[in-house]
Amino acid sequence: MSAHKYKDKSHKKIAMVHYSYPPVIGGVEFVIEGHANLLSEIGYKVKIITASGGEENRNKNIEIDKIEEIWGGNPIVKNSFTKKGRVRKDVFDWAKRLMKKKLKSSLKDVSVCIIHNIMTMHFNLVLTAALYDLMNEMQNVKFIVWTHDLSMINHDYRIRFRDEYPRVLLKKFNKHARYVAISEERQSQMASLFGIKKSNIRVVPNGIDVKSLLNIDDEIWKFAVNQGFFEKDFVAFFATRILKRKNIEKGMDIIRELKKRGLDVLYVITGPPDPHNKEAVKYYEYLLSYRKSLGLESQVRFMTNVKSSAGTKLRIDTRRLRNLYRLCDILLLTSSQEGFGLPLLEAGLFRMPIFCSDIKPLHEVFGESAVYFGLKEPPGKIADKIMGVCQKSILHRNFKKVMLNYSWPAIYHKYMLKIIT
C-alpha cells in the first residue's frame, strides 16, 4: 500500500487551486498538502496555485504559484461588489478577465486541475466565475471540482442575491468538469443543489498522512510497506535478541497455526544473535532452517537481515523500535526464561495486546493484564486465543480501517487514480 507501487510514467503536471496552502492552517489545506505530497511521490509534477502559503515547501516536485487576486480580500475582488453585495459589472468583468489571464498562464503546462472548494464557496466570486469560464474554454485541461463545503446550504452563511450572477454559479453544474464530494452526505447535497443524479459525482474521502502523524522513520516505513503490514490480518512482534531461552520457534509454531486458519499474518523479531556467542549463532541458523521447514519464509521476518536503502544492515535503534511498536498489532513473547520482561512495559505503553509465556517474572510485571499461555500448550490453542482477542478488539479494527481506507496511498489507489487519469 505504498505510493511507489503506483509510479506514474506520464510526467503529467497536476495543479491544485485553493485560497491558501500550508503552513496556513485548515482542514482543506491539510488535505491539499496530503494530495500534493502523495502525487509528487508517485511521480507527478505538482503545482499549487494559491494566494498564500507554501513558505515551508521543500519538495522540488511541488511548485508554488502565487496569484494575489485569489485572496478574497484583495482590493480588486472587493471592489467588484457594492457594499450591499451587488455586482459592479464593469469592474467585475475587468477583474474576471485579469483573473482568467493569470490562471490561464499558470495552467498552460498543466494536464489536470483540481479546484478545491472554490466552485461551491462564496469567498471569491471573481475567482469562481473565472474558473467556470476556463472550464468551458480550456478543453486541453481536465478540471476536477473537489467539494468539501457548500455555501448555498450552510445556514452559517447568508447568501444574498443567490439567483443572480455570479452567485448562481455556486449551484450550477458544469458539464466540462468532473465533480468530487468528500462524503456520501456531500454527494447527496450536491446532487440536490445542482439538480443532477448522484452518479455524476464521485465520492473520495479525506485521508491522513499516517507516516508523518505517527512519526515513522523512512526505513521502517519502507520495511512495513514492503512486508505488507497494513494488509495483514495482524502483525505479531517480539523485541528481543536471538537467544535460545527466547523460544522463538514456539512463536513460529503459533504463526503456522494462524496461517492454517486462513489468516494472513506476519511475525517480526527485532534483534540479532550475539556474534560472540556461538550458541546464539547456532540457534539463529536453526531458526532459519526451522522457518523454512514450516514454509514460513514470508510470514517470519528477522530484522537482523533487513537492509537499509543504502544497502547496509538496518540498525534498530530506540526510535525505530518505537516505530515498530506503533505499526505492529500484538506482542508475542514466547520466552521459556526471563529475568524481568521489559517488552511487556513497552507494549503496554503503546496499548498493544500482549500474549506471553506463563512464567513467573512476566506475571510479576503485568499481572492479569496479559494473555498467558503455557510453554507446553498446543500452538493451535494459543492461535485461537490470539484470534479471539484480535477479532473482538475495536482498537485493532479501527487501526486496520484507517490504514486500508484512509491513508493517502490507499486513497490514491482506491479513488484518485481513476479520476486523474
Residue 3 scores a pLDDT above 60: no
Could you tell me if 155 and 44 lie in one domain? yes
Per-position DSSP letters for 314-327, written without gaps between them = PP--HHHHHHHHHH
Position 9 scores a pLDDT of 47
Could you tell me if 196 and 228 lie in one domain? no
Across 162-183, average pLDDT: 96
Across 152-165, average pLDDT: 89
Joined grid coordinates for residue 33: 498538502
DSSP lists the bridge partners of residue 147 as 181
Position 60 scores a pLDDT of 84
Could you tell me if 82 and 39 lie in one domain? yes
Kindly report the CA angle at 187 between 186 and 188, in degrees rounded to 5? 90
In one-letter notation, the amino acid at residue 296 is L
Other Cβ atoms within 10 Å of 8 Cβ, number: 16
Could you tell me if 105 and 155 lie in one domain? yes
What percent helix, strand, coil does the chain show, rounded to 5? 45, 15, 40
Residue 367 scores a pLDDT above 90: no
Could you tell me if 21 and 130 lie in one domain? yes
Could you tell me if 134 and 245 lie in one domain? no
Could you tell me if 163 and 27 lie in one domain? yes
Phi, psi of 52 (to 5 degrees): -145, 155
Q: Which residue has the cell 513558505?
A: 55
Strand order from edge to edge, sheet including 265-269: 300-302, 265-269, 234-238, 330-333, 354-357, 371-373
Number of domains in the chain: 2
Could you tell me if 91 and 230 lie in one domain? no
Q: The domain containing residue 252 runs over which residues?
A: 213-404
pLDDT for 85-118, tens place per residue? 999 999 999 999 999 999 999 999 999 999 999 9
SS3 state at 337: coil
Count Cβ neighbours within 10 Å for each residue of 289-324 and write b for 16 or more, e otherwise.
Answer: eebeebebeebbbbbbebeeeeeeebebeeebbbbb
Could you tell me if 31 and 114 lie in one domain? yes
Label residue 84 exposed, middle or buried (CB < 10 Å: 0-12, 13-18, 19+).
exposed
pLDDT for 280-326, tens place per residue? 999 999 999 999 999 999 999 999 999 999 999 999 999 999 999 99
- The CA distance from 315 to 292, in Å, is 25
Confidence of residue 4 (pLDDT cuts 50, 70, 90): very low
DSSP lists the bridge partners of residue 356 as 333, 372
Q: What is the pTM of this model?
A: 0.85
- The CA distance from 152 to 162, in Å, is 8
- The CA distance from 195 to 174, in Å, is 12
Could you tell me if 67 and 95 lie in one domain? yes
Strand order from edge to edge, sheet including 13-17: 62-66, 45-50, 13-17, 112-116, 142-147, 177-181, 201-203
Position 5 scores a pLDDT of 52
Could you tell me if 59 and 148 lie in one domain? yes
Closest CA relative to residue 145, chosen from 96, 97, 193, 76: 193
- The CA distance from 421 to 418, in Å, is 6
Yes or no: say if 112 and 138 are a contact pair by the CB < 8 Å rule.
no
Q: Which residue has the cell 544473535?
A: 273
pLDDT for 17-54, tens place per residue? 999 999 999 999 999 999 999 999 899 999 999 999 99
Could you tell me if 217 and 255 lie in one domain? yes
Closest CA relative to residue 120, chosen from 191, 34, 49, 20: 191
In one-letter notation, the amino acid at residue 227 is Q
pLDDT for 227-262, tens place per residue? 999 999 999 999 999 999 999 999 999 999 999 999
CATH number for the domain including 193?
3.40.50.2000
